[in-house]
Amino acid sequence: MGMIPSPLKKLIESTEIKKTGVNVIGDMWKLHRDFNIFPDHSLMSQSYIELSHFASSTINSSQGWSLQRLCQYFLKSDLSKEKNIRSGDWATFPLSEDQLYYAALDAYASLLVYESILSWKPASAQFF
């Protein structure tokens, strides 16, 4: 693949900005493979939040989570994951409008799920 833009590399490696997602370690390996960057493991634990683990520990569940399932559970909303876009050619520059929308929606949904998990209270613990 090509080069990763410097601002994006700084974002990925920053410990000041929290990054959330599902299968974060898989994404990091892809970044390492494709762009030869990989944040230090100690940095990852400070700035990367694996939503599947966070959700499981919060609701005491060991089920496998996808971002789509997390959205259904915590946001009561469906996240569109159209296969033709998800498995499309992400190496082509520029990305299509559909790919940009998909990536932005994925990132935003991840943030909303993270915020929902942070504020989550079981129904039995909620009072008037």
Identify which of 2, 66, 67 has the alpha carbon closest to the alpha carbon of residue 31: 2
Q: Where are the domains of the chain?
A: 6-121
Q: What's the pLDDT tens digit per position in 10-61?
A: 888 888 888 999 998 888 888 888 887 766 666 667 788 999 999 999 998 8
Determine contact, residues 19/46, Cβ cutoff 8 Å: no
Q: What's the pLDDT tens digit per position in 74-106?
A: 999 999 888 888 888 888 888 899 999 999 999
> Which residues make beta-bridge pairs with 20?
49
What is the overall mean pLDDT for the chain? Answer: 85
Architecture of the domain delimited by 6-121: 2-Layer Sandwich (3.30)
pLDDT over threshold 60, residue 128: no
Identify which of 80, 76, 75, 79 has the alpha carbon closest to the alpha carbon of residue 113: 75
CA distances from 118 to 7, 38, 57, 103 (A): 28, 27, 11, 23
